[in-house]
Every structure is written in structure tokens, then in C-alpha cells.
Amino acid sequence: MSQSSDRAESTPIGVEELHAVEQFLYREARLLDDRLYTEWLGLLADDCTYRVPTRENIQSVRGQPPVTIDDELAEVAYFEDDKLTLLAKVLRLGTGTSWGENPPSRTRRLVTNVEVLRGEAPDELLVYSNLLLHRSRRVDEVSQFVGQRRDVLRKTEKGMLLAKRVVVLDMNICDSSHMGNFF
């Protein structure tokens, strides 16, 4: 899902649909911040993919097209998970042997600038939002992650489900040990 995939002629969504998407995103943030990971998994489509790519610094070259954010996204990712992998992570958190999360992280997600477009399929919505994730653990472990989320939400009989997420972080170097509770 790239920025160039935006379709200017996309049919606008209604206020009620926008509100439903925002409520979905806010509920998701609350479930994660409250460590209700099993409930959070219920918001994911069975074929869900979740990717946080690394970023490269690319120099602009005179006479060449400007460097886009998509140009900076690397093939390598901090993580690239599907629902099964996320389930395994959630199950591991419940074992007491996930040392990177013992004691557990305290997180707060601020989701803003929600923009919703019609997706490629009639039952899908393309959702852009900004994310500020504050994470603290122990006395001296504090980190923040800032970026854009590019989601595909699918409307189903069960309600909206997250079908795809790409998180484009604004930093190009992250200490991955601090990303344990990122999802």
C-alpha cells in the first residue's frame, strides 16, 4: 500500500462510516494499552498482515525526481507478522517467560489525523492515521515511536477487522528491544 495508491477520484465516505473507523482505531489502542491482547486479536482478519519496515536515508539528486517516503522503505522490516505469528507473541506474553516484557511495558497510543478512503475491494477501506506510541518500563526505559499507519480495514459480518497494517516510522534506527509491545 503506497501513497501513490491513493485514488483522487475515490468516493468519499460518510460521517457515520468515518466515526465507525475512528472508534475502531481508538478501541484497538485501548485494548493494546490495557494489555487485552487476546481481545485485540479478535479485531484482526484471519489473513491479516502487520509490517513495520525499516527506513533508509536516500540523498536527493539534482535532476532526479524528489525522494518519496515509499522510496525510503526497505525490504527489511523490524517485524513482518501474520495473525498466527501475532497469536504466538500474545501466547508467549502470557507465559511469564517473556523476559523482554517482565515487568510489562506501560504504553499509551495516540491515534490522530485519521483519513479514510474507499479500498480496492468494495468491503475494504484504506485508512491513514498518525501514531504516537509512548512506552515505559522499569525506571530508565522510556521510548517513543512516531509514524504513520497505513491500514486496510475490512467490513465483515462480525464488524470491521484489520486486514493489513504497515507502520511507517519517522526514525530510521530503532532499538528493537524496545519494540516488544509495539503491535
Q: Looking at residues 142-152, what average pLDDT do you find?
A: 94
Whole-angstrom distance, CA of residue 48 vs CA of residue 161: 9
27 against 104, higher pLDDT: 27
How confident is the model over 50-69, as pLDDT tens digits?
999 988 887 788 888 887 88
- DSSP output for 62-127: TTSPPPPHHHHEEEEEEEEEEHHHHHHHHHHHTTT--GGGSSPPEEEEEEEEEEEEE-SSTTEEEE
Query: For residue 177, what pLDDT is reported?
Result: 56
Phi, psi of 115 (to 5 degrees): -125, 130
Q: What is the pTM of this model?
A: 0.87
Domains parsed from the chain with CATH numbers: 12-175 (3.10.450.50)
Residue 7 has pLDDT above 50, yes or no: no
**Grid cell for residue 24:** 475502531
Confidence band for 12, pLDDT divided at 50, 70 and 90? confident
How confident is the model over 13-41, as pLDDT tens digits?
899 999 999 999 999 999 999 999 999 99
Residue 165 has pLDDT above 80, yes or no: yes
Residue 5 has pLDDT above 80, yes or no: no
Whole-angstrom distance, CA of residue 182 vs CA of residue 160: 21
Q: Looking at residues 133-142, what average pLDDT do you find?
A: 87
